Amino acid sequence: MTLPKVRVPYLLLLPGFAFLFTFFILPIINLAQTSTQTPVKGGDTGQYEQTFAFGNYITAFTENKEQFARSFIFATFSTVLALAIAYPLAYAIAFKAGKFKNILLVLVVAPFFTSFLLRTIAWKQILGEEGFVVPGLRSLHIISQQTTLTSTSFAVVAGMTYNFLPFMTLPLYASLERIDPRTIEAAGDLYANGITAFRRVTVPLSMPGVVAGTLLTFIPAAGDYVNAAILGSPTSKMVGNVIESRYFKIVDYPTAAALSFTLMAAILILVTLYIRKAGTEELV
Amino acid sequence: MSQKIKDASIPTIPFKARFSRWFGRNLLRIYMIFGFTYLFIPVAYTFAFSFNDSGKSNLIWKGFTLRNWQNPCGAPEVCSALGNSIKIGLLATTFSTILGTMIAFAIGRYAFKGRSSSNLLIFLPMATPEVVLGASLLSLFLVFKINPGFWPTVIAHVMFCISFVVVTVKARIASLDPRLEQAAMDLYANELETFRRVTLPLVAPGIAGAALLAFSLSFDDFIITNFNSGTLMTFPKFVYVSAARGIPAQANVIGSSMFFLALAIVIAGQLVNRKKVR
Amino acid sequence: MSSDAISARGDLRLTRITKSYGDFKAVDDLTLTIPKGSFFALLGPSGCGKTTTLRMVAGLEEPTVGSIHLGDTDITTTRPYQRPINTVFQNYALFPHLTIFENIAFGLRRRGIKDVKEQVDKVLNLVELPHLAGRKPTQLSGGQQQRIALARAIVNRPALLLLDEPLGALDLKLRRQMQIELKWIQREVGLTFVHVTHDQEEAMTMADTIAVMNEGKIEQMGSPADLYDNPETAFVANFLGQSNLIKGKIDGNDGDNLIVDLFGQKISMPKKRSHAVDTSLYAGIRPEKFRISLLGTAVKGNTLTGGRIEDVSYIGVSTQYVVAMPWGQELMVFEQNDDGVPPFDKGDEVLISWEPSFTFGLRGDEDIEAGTEVNPEELEGE
């Protein structure tokens, strides 16, 4: 080989990074400069000029406070729910599955081979009037005859929780699986009962998985709008819905751009605070 | 044998304790059953309704039929949307796998200045909400007067798949024992031969896994595609758009088929692995 | 140049080799010649630089300073695949994706050798595993993998075969068996073996020549008997077996012998077995050379009085005693139980005697703790 050894990594990186630079970094930069534009007076829709209108951010945020709040609240709820549902499942597969581990893992991920949209729409049907859940709950008098489950925040959160479940389950499983069962035995040997051993040994050792899972769930959930669009009502929009509509329904690119950055910034701040508190190394 | 000795000497466990022990031990198993049922409800629903004799609107059960399965392209646009999704998926997979694998080797194998920044650059797209990725790319295309459509969609898909490919392949590279390559060189293989005969075969499963991941991410993508495809119809877009009036049962057929196909591939992969270890 | 290297043959010569990582010298100005056809051992604790030296010979690392010659050919900078040297790695490094046959054939194929099957079969018979040719490495036991790793290297008939602690992962019985087999194979095939290990028993069992390494340097080199009977430094005295080192002063001489004063008691030792540079020295005696006798018994040779037995450990083959001397030092004595268990108990007042020619003398400024630390990594056979 005549290639000087120093050059090789850079050559390997070049095509991929050139691509990412052009189609990821550049667009983000372009979005940034769009966010401070204002419509050209007297121009057609879609025509803007750069005016460094940083006020766009303030307007965008204040006009959509409600949607921001909703996005983060929904994302938090679905992350917590996903954690609550996924943890026992991941634990069961890691510790109690024996030789069925791999099969069960496949079964956890398998439902997500069907199209994301088909699943969400399936939930819409199932939770709708024609499904079996609502009529069943009504006949058991758990809910009143007027209550519907679709077009509610409940449905949106339920949909989000369901759809992001594998993102929570897999990192949790990976982390739990790595725990040497002998450490738990050692805890028992040192006078810890089952619950204490779980609290003081298993849970702390599974924290890397918990952190990874919550991040992988929260970040996309905060920016999601499909669940809200399908399972929610026109009044329960999330930030993602607003951004989408600013591109396709009411053409307002600067606002959409400003909202996008605000959303990214908010996520970044929350994630940084979270990581600092949880204390974790490389995620990638 | 002294079976005649009364069992009175063996202490018995009271029923209440036995039940709670059984319950405690099986609690997780019971939970797993509920959990998996929950996971499969929408899948079962989709599968069931693929047999619905529904005509255009698949909202209410009308009757059992095999016609949808016999004629999966029956509903208009379903198969062209599916075709587009597959074409885009294959192209996006090919390019993102090649670019991503190269990056993974660079980061995973070499210590160079800017390695941690490279890691960050790979991490960023995964941490950015899809809305932002899709919208920013669309903005860029508009600035350059490129209309959204097939190739912009492919580009968008390659963009967000690269990071996942890098992470997957990098993990595989990390688990590669460097002494295997040293052994190869010790046994008269030069750098190129070592790569071809030892490194690549051992990393190949990781690359295959990454390609599969990229394809499924691309095929199932909606948000980013929505921003960048313009009038081009992909399968997820088709489902979304038809949701209001009821998705044709053919879509359920395709969805269920994807499920079974993917399941088959994964199980086949598991069996091949098991055979290798045996 | 590269094609020359691959056909090089002869003695291996390391000349003033230093390998530095920043300020740290893993190998420090090492000069060594390994004669063709010998079974050579590089012995030392972990971190002493023996593995680094081996890797430089293999070509997997480059020396910072110095040169390596194989016969007359300078191979210092040639790539590993251009050297007629093969390595048996510590964890075997068998290619998991290839069958045993292909693993062994790997080197032959890279070199374009024609009668691959014949050669592979031959070497598989040599290690007595012909039935495993079609299997994959993960299907083999540790001992089998080790022998295949050896076969994979030997089949190439290298000028030099390097073994990097190859027996570390095997259990005791298997290890003993492999030690004997390796020795046999080396004689049978006639290759030069360079064996790196931290296990001094292993080195002494297998090697013709041992070089004891410590902190990047060679402490002493010679046959196992030379090193054991006449160590030149405290490190060698303590690392190979055990030693009693008693501080003393040279008090005169008597023909070929030195008179040494040990805390007031006088002993004699051959002049040529002393490495002292001035009048201070440490008198060294191996525990099995001591004889214990009850007070009043008539004894021959050097004698030390005033000892009291502090501990008795029955080992089966021998009994080990710890004897406290009047100057505060505890000496170790190993007595064979060849005549039944010797009749000594804890608390007995005894004499220690030994044949003067077994004494060795170390410099008075030696660190007598050198070589005695037990490295935890060695314990688990790392």
**Which stretch, A213-222, B147-156, B237-246, has highest mean pLDDT?**
B147-156
The subunits that touch chain B, with at least 3 C-beta pairs less than 8 Å apart, are A, C
Name, in order, each residue with C-beta under 8 angstroms of B118's C-beta and a sequence gap of 6 or more: A13, A17, B103, B106, B107
C86 at the B interface (CB within 8 A)? yes
Q: A119-157 b/e with 16+ CB inside 10 Å = b? A: bbbbbbbbbbeebeebeeeeeeeeeeeeeebbbbbbbbb
Residue B209 vs residue B72, higher pLDDT:
B209
**Domain interval for residue C257:** 242-363
User: Are the C-beta atoms of residues C334 and C271 closer than 8 Å to each other?
Assistant: no
The answer to whether residues B177 and B219 belong to one domain is: yes
The residue type of C353 is S
CATH class, domain A67-179+207-278, is: mainly alpha
C60 at the B interface (CB within 8 A)? yes
Q: Residue A215 burial (CB < 10 Å; 0-12/13-18/19+)? A: buried
A27 at the B interface (CB within 8 A)? yes
CA distance B152 to A23: 10
Question: What does the pLDDT profile of chain C (382 residues) look like in tens digits?
Answer: 445 678 888 899 999 999 999 889 999 999 999 989 999 999 999 889 999 999 999 999 999 999 999 999 999 999 999 999 999 998 899 999 999 999 999 999 999 999 999 999 999 998 999 999 999 999 999 889 999 999 999 999 999 999 999 888 888 888 888 899 899 989 888 899 999 999 998 999 999 999 999 999 999 999 999 999 999 999 999 999 899 999 999 998 889 999 999 999 999 999 999 999 998 999 999 999 999 998 888 888 999 999 999 999 998 889 999 999 999 999 999 999 888 877 899 999 999 999 999 999 999 888 888 888 765 554 444 3
Residue B146 resides in a domain: yes
Structure tokens at C221: 């080199």
Closest chain C residue to the Cα of B273, Cα to Cα:
C97
Residue B67 vs residue A217, higher pLDDT:
A217
Cα angle vertex B198, ends B197, B203, to 5°? 115
The answer to whether residues B99 and B180 belong to one domain is: yes
B275 at the C interface (CB within 8 A)? no
Q: Do C91 and B186 touch (CB under 8 A)?
A: no
Domain ranges (residues) in chain A: 67-179+207-278
A270 at the B interface (CB within 8 A)? no
Residue C176 parent element (H or E): helix C172-189
Q: B79-91 b/e with 16+ CB inside 10 Å = b? A: bebbebbeebbeb
So what's the pLDDT on residue B169?
A: 93
Which residues on chain B are in Cβ contact (under 8 Å) with C85?
A: 186
Instruction: List B residues 37-56 in contact with A (Cβ-Cβ < 8 A).
Output: 38-43, 45-46, 49
Number of folded domains that form chain B: 2
Q: What share of chain C is helix, strand, coil (3-state, %, to 5)?
A: 30, 35, 35
The answer to whether residues B270 and B222 belong to one domain is: no
Q: What is the pTM of this model?
A: 0.80
Q: C43-81 b/e with 16+ CB inside 10 Å = b? A: bbbebbbbbbbbbbbbbbbebeebebbbeebbbbebbbb
Residue C370 resides in a domain: no
Distances (CA, A) of B119 to A211, B113, B153, B166, B256: 19, 12, 25, 10, 37
Number of folded domains that form chain C: 2
For the segment A51-93, what is each residue's pLDDT rounded down to a tens digit?
887 888 888 888 888 888 888 999 999 999 999 999 999 988 8
The minimal CB distance from A256 to the residues B41, B135, B226 is found for: B135
Residue C375 resides in a domain: no
A281 at the B interface (CB within 8 A)? no
B212 at the A interface (CB within 8 A)? no
What is the DSSP secondary-structure string of chain B?
Answer: --TTS-GGGSPPPPHHHHHHHHHHHHHHHHHHHHHHHHHHHHHHHHHHHTTB--TT--SS---B-SHHHH-TT-STTHHHHHHHHHHHHHHHHHHHHHHHHHHHHHHHH---TTHHHHHHHHHHHHHS-HHHHHHHHHHHHHHTTPPPSHHHHHHHHHHHHHHHHHHHHHHHHHTS-HHHHHHHHHTT--HHHHIIIIIHHHHHHHHHHHHHHHHHHHHH--HHHHHH-TT---HHHHHHHHTTT---HHHHHHHHHHHHHHHHHHHHHHHHHHHHH-
C119 at the B interface (CB within 8 A)? no
Closest chain A residue to the Cα of B212, Cα to Cα:
A113
Q: Do A260 and B41 touch (CB under 8 A)?
A: no
Closest chain B residue to the Cα of A92, Cα to Cα:
B28
Interface test with C, best of B176, B187, B278 (most C CBs within 10 A): B187
Nearest Cα to Cα of residue C59 among B108, A7, B187, B174: B187
The answer to whether residues B240 and B155 belong to one domain is: yes
Edge-to-edge order in the sheet of strand C85-88: C85-88, C160-164, C192-197, C39-43, C209-214, C217-222
CATH number of the domain to which C333 belongs? 2.40.50.140
Which residues on chain B are in Cβ contact (under 8 Å) with A119?
A: 42-43, 46
So what's the pLDDT on residue A242?
A: 87
The answer to whether residues B156 and B194 belong to one domain is: yes
B78 at the A interface (CB within 8 A)? no
For the segment B102-143, what is each residue's pLDDT rounded down to a tens digit?
999 999 888 888 888 888 889 889 888 898 999 899 989 988
Closest chain B residue to the Cα of A103, Cα to Cα:
B267
Residue C67 resides in a domain: yes
Residue C78 resides in a domain: yes
CA distance A59 to C184: 86
